Structures are given as C-alpha cells and as structure tokens.
Amino acid sequence: MSITSLLGKSCRPGRFEQKEVEPELILKLLETAVWAPNDGLREPWRFLFVEGEKGREAMPLHREAPAHLVVIADAVDDMHKQEEDLAAVFCLIQNMRLLGLEQNIGMLICMDDWIHDSSLRQRLGIRDHERIAAILDIGYAEIGDTTKEIHTSRLRISEC
C-alpha cells in the first residue's frame, strides 16, 4: 500500500480482535522498521516481546492487548546524544505503526509515567543506561479511514 493511503488510516483505539499476534510477524516488521534514521548509525534500540497472556504479569498496571512490544532506547550519559537516540527510536516506532496498518494490525503507544518505574524496569530486565521509550499494545483491529478533519489549518508554519 502507498504511504499516502496508509497515512489516512488508523485503528479504532481499544478494540483489538481476540486473535493471536504471531511474534514472527512483529519481528518481520521490525526488520524493516530498523531502517529508521539514527545519528551515527548507533542503532540505539532493542525490543522485548510480551505475549498478551503474560501482559498482566509483566505490566500489572497496564491494559490488556493481544501482544505488547516494549521498545527500549539507549540512555547514554551525554544528554544530547540521549535525545538524538530517543528521536531515532520514535522514528522506528512510526515505521512500525505504518507497517502494522498494512497488515490490519493496530499499535497503540503507551508513554505513561509508570513505564519508568524501577520495579517494572527490574522485572523486564531494563539495564543501566537504557530506558523504555514506549510500550506498544498490538492487535488485529478494524482499520478505517481517518475522518479527514482539516488538520492542515492546525499546523503552525512560519517563514524564517
């Protein structure tokens, strides 16, 4: 599907089908998504796949979904590099969302404060100099056309 038509699509939040999401498929999408721009080719990411059944155990506070992907970013001491790395990981996440839509898979992004809790970090094995960038809730979903609201007037653009 073309990128333009994909950008016009979205999944209805919170309405995943009760259908298993194969980890192999998510890994396959990730193999494409890692072609995200990243400064100095640091590839500052790694991934934890959590099956829906294990979701409660892994993240007791979190809503249920057929699968979760914990996207982990490097968090080096140099704050400037840390920000650049985070940007790269967010670009990768956007790639994943687009690739998912093409497979009728919706991905909801969770960036709530609790993703940084030390107990969660420990349970998931997040290392020093790493941070959770986001947790993606993944599931097959009804993918529809975004109501073509006029976002355009909302963009704030000025000439330098």
Partner 1 sequence: MSVESIIKERRSIRKFADQAVPDHLMQELFNRAAVSCDPQMLQSMRLIIALQNESKNRLSHYMLDSFTATRMGKLIPRSVKETMAKFFSEVPGLLVIVVDDHDSQQQKDMHYANACFFLQNLQLLAWEKGIGMFWRSDEMLYTKPFFEQLGISDRERLVGILLFGFIEKTPRPRKRTPASKKWLHWPQI
Residues that bind partner 1 (CB under 8 A): 1-4, 6-10, 23, 27, 30-37, 39, 41, 43, 45-51, 54, 57-58, 70, 80, 83-84, 86-87, 90-91, 93-95, 97-99, 102, 109, 111-113, 124-125, 133-134, 146, 148-149, 151-152, 154-160
Quick one: which of 32, 36, 35 has its CA closest to 90?
A: 36
Quick one: which of 20, 36, 22, 105 has its CA closest to 71?
A: 36
In the complex, what is the shortest distance from the CB of residue 138 to partner 1, in angstroms, rounded to a whole number? 14
In the complex, what is the shortest distance from the CB of residue 97 to partner 1, in angstroms, rounded to a whole number? 8
| Residue placing its CB nearer to partner 1 in the complex, 51 or 142 | 51
In the complex, what is the shortest distance from the CB of residue 147 to partner 1, in angstroms, rounded to a whole number? 10
- Separation CA 8–CA 94 (nearest Å): 14
Single-letter amino acid, residue 141: A
Angle at 150 between CA 145 and CA 155, to 5 degrees: 120
| Residue placing its CB nearer to partner 1 in the complex, 128 or 150 | 150
In the complex, what is the shortest distance from the CB of residue 155 to partner 1, in angstroms, rounded to a whole number? 6
Task: Let me know: does 50 contact 59? Beta carbons within 8 Å.
Answer: yes
